[in-house]
Structure 1
Amino acid sequence: MPTDIVRYLTHPQVQIDPDVPVPQWGLSPVGRARTEAIASATWLAHTTQIVSSGERKAIETAEIIARKLGLMIEIREAMHENDRSATGFLEPAEFEAVADRFFAEPQLSVRGWERAIDAQARIVREADAVLARSRPGDILFVGHGAIGTLLFCHHAGLAIDRAHDQPAGGGHVFALTCDTRQVLHGWRKMEDALPG
């Protein structure tokens, strides 16, 4: 009997606006088109729950898929990306440097960012709370790259390391078995994800 699957999907490309707080950024036209293109994918066919971060880009991603599947979305505010509000918007090169340190020094608050170990504990707690309900069908979490990587590292038994981060561009998915939390596959582009 096939086991139910838990998938964690990161939002794809966003509309970057330095004048808008990052959690309020929405999907770019490319990100929206990518999500609409995969909303009917076979790997989503057995999804019965869609659980989203409260950030706009994640909600927009989840809503596109939920509309196609005829499902409601559940928003869990504590599934947000690692808290970077201390720095606000950073230019790409500076952001990448700080993100490198976030993963490399998980027990430290890099420039006031939430510590990676705290962010990991938070996302594991949120995912566990959903999985504890033991509802039938596949579960789709919709969130973000850094926090998703921390969840992946936890379930894969890996130390926190940016080597396990999703590739650039967003719109990637990893999968676990619902019952044993065994990793079925690491990050794949959502266009390349498989049903099982």
Structure 2
Amino acid sequence: MKTTKIIFLRHAETQKDPLVNAVLWGLSERGRAQAEEVSKQPIMSTVDMIYVSEEKKTAFTAEPIAKKFSKEVCASGFFNEVGRGDKFFSAEEFEAEKARQLTNLSYRAFGGESGLDALLRFKKGINEIVRKNPEKTILIVTHGTILNIYFADMLNFFEKLPERWSKTAFCAYGIIENGEVRKDIV
């Protein structure tokens, strides 16, 4: 019996720019190397289709995989990071706001959407692509916060969410097969 497999990949390391909204950030030199390296993972050769968020860093992360295996990349707002405002935060401010967001999923961090709202949006996108693409292997390149919230939901393990988020490396991936976690993102 064929299965539907979703590989969730966190984007590669970004090049932060306080003068530009994070949505527009590209990859750092290290991030470009990470994206190339992840394209060499054997599991990437099994991918039938690739989805990314609307943020450039996810498209740049997917690019080496798409080129290597001649796959199209589809951008979808369903897979965006938890919505955040335009303000650039210092590292300390960001960490404090992120910790609050991950310990209270109803909290609208950074003046954006709540973790729960983002989870509902994300799950809606997953359900839609699974319905449209049964028995396929789908790669979704997305973001660390939403991935950790989603995997916590799938595993019914919301405790220690801030710690899980802090341990999620750039280009880490997790796998869901037929609605069950086969490989955790952390």
| TM-score (ref. length: structure 1) | 0.87
Paired position in structure 2 for 1:191 = none
- Residue range with higher mean Cα deviation, 121-130 or 133-142: 133-142
**1:61-95 CA distances to partner (integer Å, 9 max, x unpaired)?**
11221111110011102311111115x21111110
Give the RMSD, CA atoms, in angstroms.
1.8
Structure 2: 5+ residue stretches without partners: none
Write out the 4+ residue segments of structure 1 that deviate beyond 4 Å after TM superposition: none
Paired position in structure 1 for 2:136 = 137
Paired position in structure 2 for 1:22 = 22
Paired position in structure 2 for 1:57 = 57
**1:154-196 CA distances to partner (integer Å, 9 max, x unpaired)?**
222233732332625421111110x2x11011125xxxxxxxx
**1:35-64 CA distances to partner (integer Å, 9 max, x unpaired)?**
112213211111001010010000111122
Q: Tell me how far apart the structure 2 counterparts of residues 94 and 21 of structure 1 sit (CA, whole Å).
A: 16
Aligned partners of 2:3 and 2:135 also within 8 Å = no
Aligned partners of 1:51 and 1:76 also within 8 Å = yes
Letter in 2 for 1:92: A
Q: 1:64 to 1:127 in 2, by over 3 A?
A: same
- Residue range with higher mean Cα deviation, 47-56 or 151-160: 151-160
Paired position in structure 2 for 1:185 = 183
**Which has more helix, going by share of residues?**
2
1:134 CA displacement: 3.3
Letter in 2 for 1:23: V
SS in 1 for 2:158: coil
Q: Tell me how far apart the structure 2 counterparts of residues 136 and 80 of structure 1 sit (CA, whole Å).
A: 24
Paired position in structure 2 for 1:104 = 103
Letter in 2 for 1:25: W
1:2 CA displacement: 6.5
Q: Tell me how far apart the structure 2 counterparts of residues 173 and 70 of structure 1 sit (CA, whole Å).
A: 21
1:3 CA displacement: 3.7
Q: Tell me how far apart the structure 2 counterparts of residues 111 and 32 of structure 1 sit (CA, whole Å).
A: 27
| TM-score (ref. length: structure 2) | 0.91
1:137 CA displacement: 2.9
Structure 1: 5+ residue stretches without partners: 189-196
